[in-house]
């Protein structure tokens, strides 16, 4: 099983329909478990697919349309009832705090864990999370209200030691320097161990981009360029393109065009309008332009191999 794994919890647009839930995704990268959007019924889906809410420490809410956050209050209260103690980081546009506090005020309730709010901005790309192995970047979408997409990217990795080239005479303290690409010099400033001679190239860093409610935007192309996996909303088909422009959404063909222009490896489309029962017609429309397209259906798992 890959340590970079996306599970689709909800794929529907504004309304749940035909067994499809509203927007929510679970992303596991190494020791992190992230939740991306939290539509109605999200906690039911987490349990359905055996994903522990208590292991989620970061929740990213793309925008404040209800189909992307209405499951959040219930999830937070369930975490509380299960005696969560660890901090929860919540990334959202301003206004969500007011919504959550109003519900807690009238329920005369409070949480027994700390929620740390990180405000998003649609002014431009922004680094919103970073640790030793990973960065998360937000970037603006083109929708009816302020909306962000998210880019999850591994940091460049170290080179690995080529065990077939190592000799007993190499001091252990030199190993980490060689792995970082550093040559070992003697007192005469001569190279005695060259990194390229004793190490293998680093494995490529992996990346996932989440482009939720938006009409196509050229501004996202340099940000998502070359990612391993792209989720791009595809609310409508081309026959409803006028409706897509009115509501600032994308068609399946437009999502495929974005994937093609950004030269991504694999595309998944989601956020489907309730008017479509058979999603294969949307899949075919996208695959006509970008063959490596897949449906973001509930329970589907997409892994990025190491």
Going from the C-alpha of 72 to that of each of 23, 67, 97, 143, 223, the distances in angstroms are 12, 10, 11, 21, 28
Q: Is the CB of residue 208 less than 8 Å from the CB of residue 229? A: yes
Contacts of 252 (CB under 8 A, 6+ apart): 234, 236, 237, 238, 269, 282, 283, 285, 286
On whether the CB atoms of residues 148 and 125 are closer than 8 A, the answer is: no
166: which 2 tokens?
């190592």
Q: Alpha carbon of 83 to those of 111, 139, 303: distances in Å?
A: 9, 34, 31
- Whether 142 is catalytic is no
Sheet architecture: strand order including 229-233: 126-130, 134-140, 148-154, 207-211, 229-233, 266-270, 293-295
Out of 3, 37, 67, 132, the active site residue is: 67
Catalytic positions are: 67
């Amino acid at each position: 099983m890959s340590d970079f794994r996306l599970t689709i919890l909800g794929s529907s647009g504004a309304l749940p329909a035909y067994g499809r839930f509203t927007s929510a995704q679970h992303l596991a990268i190494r020791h992190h478990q992230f939740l991306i959007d939290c539509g109605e019924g999200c906690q039911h889906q987490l349990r359905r697919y055996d994903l522990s809410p208590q292991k989620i420490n970061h929740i990213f809410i793309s925008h404040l349309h209800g189909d992307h956050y209405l499951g959040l209050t219930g999830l937070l209260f369930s975490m509380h009832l299960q005696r969560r103690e660890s901090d929860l980081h919540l990334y959202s546009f301003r206004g969500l705090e007011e919504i959550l506090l109003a519900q807690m005020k009238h329920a005369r309730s409070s949480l027994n864990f700390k929620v740390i709010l990180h405000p998003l901005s649609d002014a431009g790309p922004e680094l919103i999370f970073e640790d030793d192995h990973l960065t998360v970047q937000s970037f603006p979408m083109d929708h009816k209200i302020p909306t962000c997409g998210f880019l999850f990217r591994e940091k460049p990795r170290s080179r690995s030691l080529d065990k077939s080239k190592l000799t007993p005479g190499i001091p252990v303290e030199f190993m980490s320097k060689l792995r970082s690409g550093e040559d070992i010099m003697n007192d005469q400033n001569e190279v005695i161990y060259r990194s390229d001679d004793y190490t293998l190239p680093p494995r490529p860093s992996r990346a996932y981009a989440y482009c939720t409610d938006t009409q196509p935007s050229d501004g996202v192309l340099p940000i998502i360029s070359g990612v391993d996996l792209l989720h791009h909303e595809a609310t409508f088909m081309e026959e409803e393109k006028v409706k897509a422009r009115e509501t600032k959404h994308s068609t399946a063909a437009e999502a495929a065009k974005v994937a093609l222009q950004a030269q991504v490896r694999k595309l998944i489309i989601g956020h489907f309008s309730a008017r479509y029962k058979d999603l294969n017609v949307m899949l075919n429309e996208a695959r006509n332009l970008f063959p490596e397209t897949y449906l973001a259906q509930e329970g589907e798992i997409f892994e990025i191999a190491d």
